[in-house]
Amino acid sequence: MKRWLRKDSSAALMFLVPSGIGFSLFYIIPFAMGVYYSFMDSSIDSQFVGLDNYRELLASESFHKAASNTFNFTAVSVPVMLALSLGLAMLLNQNVYIRSWLRTAYVLPLVVPVASIILIWQILLDWNGSLNAWLSYFGFERVDWMKTDAARTVVIVVYLWKNVGYNIILFLAGLQQIPKDYYETAQVEGAGRFRQFGNITLVYLTPTMFFVIIMSILNSFKVFRETYLIAGDYPHDSIYMLQHYMNNMFMSLDIQKLTAAATIMVGCILLIVSVLFMLERRFRQFME
């Protein structure tokens, strides 16, 4: 027993046990119960109905709209987030004027409370808000931003503004780990900037980029908070997300559809992450 306690693995396990217990109580067990209820007809005196709840869910037009909007939002916002955060990180990695001030500015959205952020965006995007006042001043027509298709663009901008700072920090850490000797050698051999970026920067940033992509996808599924506070329970059709659908099912106490939708969403996220792991593993084998 004493010999086992002296091992590093046993010490690590003892430190992880409290976190594991909390994670199980507040995440794993509730999710397992949710999956269980998704196969029942009710949460009280329930009877097993198999996949009936999933069939009813997949036949729902509201669910189709929410799922397609969520997929489209992720497909557009994540690549834009990746390109924008990497570009800004490379810029901040250079000897740019007021570099430290810019780093602080990009990180500030991470520490500002969401309620304060939403108040600012509401003042900016309201029908009588600042943005429409500027448009009117320059002779353009006012836009009801949150009640037209422009709402999708607004949500993407809010998502980028909120999360780009975190990704910049990660990319900066990865860029600073790349030895400068590699770039100097490439310059001596005549390699241009694009070739250096493709053969050095992207190669050594692969682990960081892989993590950033996963976190960006997960954060894109959590954009409901900002959208809900800006547009309410039933926003414009273009920004009606899976989280809106599940929130409305919760408000109507339709626990079966709620748990079935949550199970499908988690399954899709796990599938996406598994595919990314497979691609990252193959890329590493190809580079080796």
In whole angstroms, what separates CA 267 from the centre of its chain? 16
Overall average pLDDT of the 21-43 stretch: 87
Given a cut of 70, is residue 160 above it in pLDDT?
yes
**What are the domain boundaries of the chain?**
62-287
- Residue-wise pLDDT for 59-86, tens only, equals 888 889 988 988 999 999 999 999 999 9
Question: What separation, in Å, do the N-terminal and C-terminal C-alpha atoms of the chain show?
Answer: 42
- Give Cα separations from 23 to 17, 20, 33, 160, 258 (angstroms): 10, 5, 14, 29, 21
pLDDT above 90: percentage of residues in the chain: 5
> Span 5-23, mean pLDDT?
77
Which pLDDT value is given to residue 173?
85
Q: Largest Cα–Cα distance in the chain?
A: 80
Each residue's pLDDT tens digit, 206-258: 888 888 998 888 888 888 777 877 777 778 888 888 888 888 888 888 888 88
CA dihedral 10, 16, 18, 23 (to 10 degrees): -140
pLDDT digits (tens, 9 = 90+) for 82-129: 999 998 888 888 776 666 677 777 777 777 777 777 778 778 887 788
| pTM of structure | 0.81
- CATH tag for 62-287 (out of 3.40.47.10, 1.10.357.10, 1.10.3720.10, 3.40.190.10): 1.10.3720.10
- Spatial separation of the C-alpha atoms in residues 76 and 90, rounded to whole Å: 22
**Residues facing 40 on adjacent strands:** 48
Q: Which amino acid, one-letter code, is at 281?
A: R
- The answer for residues whose C-beta is within 8 angstroms of residue 148's C-beta and 6 or more apart is 236
Structure tokens at 196: 């250096």
Q: Taking 80 as the threshold, does the pLDDT of residue 7 lie above it?
A: no
What is d(CA 92, CA 214) in angstroms, rounded to the nearest whole number? Answer: 23
C-beta of residue 208 within 8 angstroms of C-beta of residue 191: no
Residue 16 is predicted with a pLDDT of: 83
CB 101 within 8 A of CB 111: no
List the helix and strand counts (H, then E) for the chain: 16, 0
Mean pLDDT rounded to a whole number for the chain: 83
pLDDT (tens digit, 9 = 90+) per residue, 119-145?
787 788 877 888 888 888 888 888 888
Residue 140 three-state SS: coil
* 8 Å CB contact between 132 and 190: no
Query: What are the structure tokens assigned to 143, written together?
Result: 């836009």
- pLDDT tens for residues 245-256? 888 888 888 888
Residue 39 carries which DSSP code? Answer: T
For residue 53, is pLDDT > 90?
Answer: no
The average pLDDT across 185-210 equals 82
Length of the chain: 288
Percent of the chain at pLDDT > 70 equals 94
Q: Which of 28-42, 95-109, 125-139, 274-288 has the lowest mean pLDDT?
A: 95-109
Distance CA 75, CA 118 (A): 24
Judged against a pLDDT cut of 90, whether residue 195 lies above it is answered with: no
Helix H, strand E, coil C: the string for 195-241 is HHHHHHHHHHCHHHHHHHHHHHHHHHCCCHHHHHHHHCCCCCHHHCC
DSSP label at 128?
T
The first and second tokens of residue 251, run together, are: 């408000």
